[in-house]
Amino acid sequence: MKHRVSFPLREGVHSRQAHCDLPAGSYEREIGKDGFFGPATHMYHRHPPTGWSHWEGSLRPRALDTNKLPDMGLCPWHAVPLLYNEHLCVRLWRCNSPMDHLVRNGDGEECLFVHAGSGVLFCDYGRLPFSKGDYVIIPRSTSWRIEPDEPVTLLMIEATHGSYQLADRGPAGQHAIFDPGVLEHPHIDEAFVEQAGRAGEWQVRLKARGQFNTITYPFNPLDALGWKGDLTVLRLNWRDIRPLMSHRYHLPPSAHSTWVASHFVICTFVPRPMEQDAGALKVPFFHNNDDYDEVLFYHEGDFFSRDNIDAGMITWHPCGFTHGPHPKALASAQSNSRKATNEVAVMIDSRYPLELATLPAGVENTDYVNSWRKS
């Protein structure tokens, strides 16, 4: 990778190095383009950039508690979209018993993140066990169903009219963050052959162009004898992710990219040592999300940059305003009391604005916008 050398202009009081050795009593805010890859300026303020006292209007930080969503039924297409645009759709689905039908997404590729439970996925390519903390990537128009070993909760991220690829690791090399060798794929094993021979009718419930079709077969369509190629279902567990780190510099979220689609990226935050340098920031820096909507799904652990956020919650910060750590998290980081993070979270950065679905009462914490106020 090449990058044109440029020297930033300077005005007033500032640090020599972004995110390090901030002027005394100042709060840094990054204004950037193209996520964290374009031109950027770092501002140094007297007050926290998220220190608003009131907010009027709908373009505000949002927090959703998916634990309060009602049961959705046996088909994943019963799970209504939570956040969506023409390139991306986020759902959450719970499955408590074996699916008695197949589903197929003709609108895009599916990324399933297993928030809870374990089981087996049967698909065109074979049989693939899964467990808590797995990502499962399902190519567009693949037929699949799951048989849970215990109740399963899936965060479903659809790359509408798109597909998932691995992130460019740049100078770190293709084996950085996770070696592609840890990726698992389905197998045509004895259990797959056994289920293929089950007699009776099978339905495939196809979602395509926003509509639903039911295709009935007098046999089980998951009856492959074999296959060869480089397109298949993939599985990755967050425990196989070894994050890029710097003990002297807080890396931006883009350093934790896991999957890349045409108009959004999925990043994974996993436990790691905290920055050790006395002058380095220890929490995400205040920044303008001017080009991207940012969505975070909190999987497990202690979410060190957030206050009063529990596992299974989603936060959404639409583009257009500054966001950053909560006051208590910032104070804790400044005290250098933590030696490591223990959070696991899935972040979605969307290049185009997202829409919020109409949700049941109680799912949204409408007071979240006030959580940056100092108590």
Q: Tell me what pLDDT residue 173 has.
A: 87
Residues 219-231 pLDDT 10s: 999 999 999 999 9
Q: What percent of the chain has pLDDT over 70?
A: 96
* Average pLDDT of span 237-256: 89
Q: Averaging pLDDT over each range in 38-47, 166-175, 318-327, 349-358, which range is the top one?
A: 349-358
Q: Among 28-32, 81-85, 131-135, which stretch is predicted with the lowest mean pLDDT?
A: 28-32
Q: Tell me what pLDDT residue 315 has.
A: 95
DSSP string across 236-287: EEGGG-B----TTS---GGGGEEEE-SSEEEEEE--EEPP-STTB-SSPPEE
* Strand residue runs (E) in 161-210: 165-166, 202-208
User: Domain 27-49+59-63+243-366 maps to which CATH number in 2.60.120.10, 2.60.40.3880, 2.30.30.280, 2.30.40.10?
Assistant: 2.60.120.10
Given a cut of 70, is residue 261 above it in pLDDT? yes
CATH 2.60.120.10 boundaries in the chain: 27-49+59-63+243-366, 88-238
Query: Does the domain formed by 88-238 have CATH 3.90.1200.10?
Result: no
Residues 3-32 pLDDT 10s: 566 778 888 889 888 888 888 988 888 887
Given a cut of 70, is residue 171 above it in pLDDT? yes
Query: How far apart are alpha carbons 189 and 14 in whole angstroms?
Result: 62
Given a cut of 70, is residue 113 above it in pLDDT? yes
Query: How far apart are alpha carbons 221 and 70 in whole angstroms?
Result: 31
Q: Tell me what pLDDT residue 80 has.
A: 85
Residues 153-167 pLDDT 10s: 999 999 999 999 999
Average pLDDT value over all residues in the chain: 91
Query: How far apart are alpha carbons 295 and 347 in whole angstroms?
Result: 6
